[in-house]
Amino acid sequence: MFLEMKHLSKVYGGKKAVDDFNLDVKKGEFICFIGTSGSGKTTTMRMINRMLNPSSGSIKLEGKDVLKADPVKLRRRIGYVIQNVGLMPHMTIRDNITLVPKLLKWSDEKKNERAKEMIKMVELPEEYLDRYPSELSGGQQQRIGVVRALAADQDLILMDEPFGALDPITRESLQDFVQDLQQRLGKTVIFVTHDMDEALKLATRIVVMSHGKVIQVATPDEILRHPANEFVENLIGKDRLIQARPSITTVGQVMYNNAVSITPGRSLKEALKLMHEKRVDTLLVTDDSGILKGYVDIEQIDYNYNTATSVDDVMTRKVFYVYENSIIRDTVEKILKRGYKNVPVVDENKKLVGIVTRASLVDIVYDALWGEADTSTNEDSTKDNKGKDKVTSAKAGDGQA
Amino acid sequence: MINFIQQYGGQLLYKLWQHIYISGISLGLGILVAVPLGILLTRMKHGSGVIIEIASVLQTVPALALLAMMIPIFGIGALPAIVALFIYSLLPILRNTYLGIQGVDPSLKDAAKGMGMTNFQSIIKVELPMAVPVIMSGIRLSATYVIAWTALASYIGAGGLGDFIFNGLNLYRTDLILGGSIPVILLALLVDWLLGKLEVWLTPTTTSARA
């Protein structure tokens, strides 16, 4: 494990700012700490590079105990990006970029080379190296702030709300920049933010914190689909939950509500009549309170018409159904694979609420391919890709009636 | 005027040198003590207020009284004067150093520490350069005080341009009074101007010279 934090606590005057924090971080992960102010997210981050010393617990970086390391040497190995950029106003961009290499006593040649490499990375002309921070825009300054944290080949980078003070457009381009750098260079990033959009966009895993405690640790996808509690839901925001729909559309949202059903006690004649009226070849069988019991189709009725009397005698009790609340992405595949023409949809109590037909699946696939091409869902589709391989759990039920 | 210089020229130069010597050493010592002490205060969690307070109290003791109080301890001459003036020079420098360092953008200090600067490196490379204008204004203030008060030091036998002024007062000689006070004023103005130049030179540039 690249970074291990165990039972980490920080107490300020009897108040626990961080309470029993546990997290294992693999190399190359992009971890976002999110929470309201006072949640302990920044405190936790600052303990990693010993800007604060934990009251108890342990931190290991590449197997070595951080708390026993020389804090100054430790910090030179860990990149550090803060909200207010913190570029030294009296140093040129070159000197700012090579600040840590200078502390590490690199040769001038090597420092200069690295400065050029870094300025290329932020896509600024080389003559900017001789300018001062005040001569750069806010966004450019923070780009320099980011590469300053990489200049000495730090593997772990801590970022404390680095884009909080930037306007939305600049912030987004900086996010793209950081994400690209992180993926390209394989850096491990711990990123503190209070902006859920930012966390969802950047993180491979999100750590939700409140009042010093970890509420949930999960991938962005899982957080969206299964927020641990109301606090997380509020943090995500109702708007965003709806926005995120393409990845979390539920079966209930795409099903037809007019499923044709019959109770087991009815006669086959009545069933046949109902089929004829509704122009369907299958009837779902429910009891008086609407609980799904099975189904009956035209073949069964035709075959047994003379020998059986009631629906109960001929119905198939084994029925594949899906829950109204399950995510469509997880259920579509099952429906297609099993080759059902249609699948009943039930609520938590197994009460029949609707039906998904192959026609409605066509709609979903159509939407997925063409509907998402417009701008609003671009972000979500990338999120989908990121989450896809990690999503294994599904709520879809599959059992006997 | 020409007469005066002809008559007292040599003496004037000698007293001027004494004056510069006394105030220079007092101020120099003041800087050497107050700047590091001021920095130290910013690193203390408690007690910085108390020390600033003590320095403020010392500042309120009348200059002449402080000079006189030095006599039982150090006798008369340049030494008690230097000690007394040194004490006077402390407060403005101490307070401005403290406030100057304290006023450095906290995110710069955070960045410096977070990137792995030692405390000392942070002070030398970041905090002092950033605090130069504030510290220098404290030093300039102290310099002006010390040069003016060195004139009083003549009273306890320290010499300096004060000798002219006090002689003039005793003998009702306006030319001696002016002959002593005008050089003091000119000296104070000159030193302040020089320190101003030094301040500009010490203040780090934050823009490239293209403009």
Task: Kindly list the residues from chain A whose CB atom is less than 8 angstroms away from the CB atom of residue B110.
Answer: 51, 82, 86
Phi then psi for residue A294, to 5 deg, are 170, -160
Q: What is the pLDDT of residue B190?
A: 95
Identify all chain B residues contacting A92, using CB atoms and an 8 Å cutoff.
208
Do B190 and B20 contact (CB within 8 A), yes or no? no
Computed on alpha carbons and rounded to an integer, the radius of gyration of chain A in Å comes to: 29
CA distance B142 to B124: 23
Mean per-residue pLDDT for B57-67? 85
Q: Which residue has the tokens 């302040």?
A: B192
From A148's Cα to the closest Cα of chain B, the distance in A is 9
Q: Which of A10, A362, A361, A389 minimizes the C-alpha distance to A209?
A: A10
One pLDDT digit (tens) per residue for chain A, 401 residues: 899 999 999 998 888 899 999 999 999 999 999 998 889 999 999 999 999 999 999 999 998 999 999 999 999 999 999 988 889 999 999 999 999 999 999 999 999 999 999 999 888 999 999 999 999 998 899 999 999 999 999 999 999 999 988 888 888 889 999 998 898 898 999 999 988 888 988 999 999 999 999 999 999 888 888 888 888 888 887 666 655 555 556 777 778 888 888 888 888 888 888 888 888 888 889 988 888 888 888 888 888 887 888 888 888 888 888 888 777 766 666 677 677 777 888 888 888 888 888 777 777 666 655 554 444 444 444 444 444 343 333 333 343 33
Cα gap A365→A355, rounded to integer Å: 17
CB atoms within 10 A of CB A283: 26
Contact call for A85 and B107, based on CB within 8 A: yes
Integer-rounded Cα radius of gyration of chain B: 20
Distance CA A108, CA A105 (A): 9
State the pTM of this model.
0.69
pLDDT at A4 (0 to 100)? 93
* pLDDT tens-place string over residues B16-25: 999 999 999 9
Helix or strand or coil: residue A285?
Answer: strand
By the CB < 8 Å criterion, does B117 face chain A? yes
pLDDT at A239: 64
Strand A342-346 with A64-65, pairing: unpaired
Hey, are the CB atoms on B129 and A90 less than 8 Å from each other? yes
Residue B105: exposed, middle, or buried by beta-carbon count in 10 A (0-12, 13-18, 19+)?
middle
Q: Which of residues 170-209 of B touch A (CB under 8 A)?
A: 204-208
Domain boundaries, given as residue ranges, for chain A: 3-236, 252-369
β-strand A261-262 against A282-286: which pairing, if any? parallel
Q: How far apart are CA A124 and CA A135, in angstroms?
A: 13
Beta carbons of B204 and A85 less than 8 Å apart = no
The predicted structure's pLDDT at residue A396: 39
Taking the C-alpha atoms of residue A217 and residue A223, their distance in angstroms, rounded to an integer, is 8
Tell me, what's the ipTM?
0.81
B205: DSSP letter: P
**Least confident stretch, A26-40, A223-237, B164-178, B184-198:** A223-237
pLDDT at A392: 37
pLDDT at B139 over 60: yes
To the nearest whole angstrom, how far is the Cα of A62 from the nearest Cα of chain B? 19
CB distance B29 to B86 below 8 Å: yes
Rounded Cα gap, residues A297 and B147, in angstroms: 111
**pLDDT tens string A329-354:** 666 666 776 777 778 888 888 888 88
Chain A residues touching B126 at Cβ < 8 A: 88
Give the closest-approach CA distance of A198 to chain B in angstroms: 22
B3 against B194, higher pLDDT: B194
Contacts of A148 in chain B (CB under 8 A): 115
Cα–Cα dist A54/A278, whole Å: 69
Q: Topology of A3-236 in CATH?
A: Rossmann fold (3.40.50)
CATH 3.30.9.10 fits A252-369, yes or no: no
> What is the model's pLDDT at position B132?
94
The answer for B 87-116 residues in CB contact with A (under 8 A) is: 105, 107-108, 110-116
Looking at residue A217, what is its pLDDT? 94
**Cβ-based contacts under 8 A for chains A and B:** 72
Model pLDDT, residue A370: 58
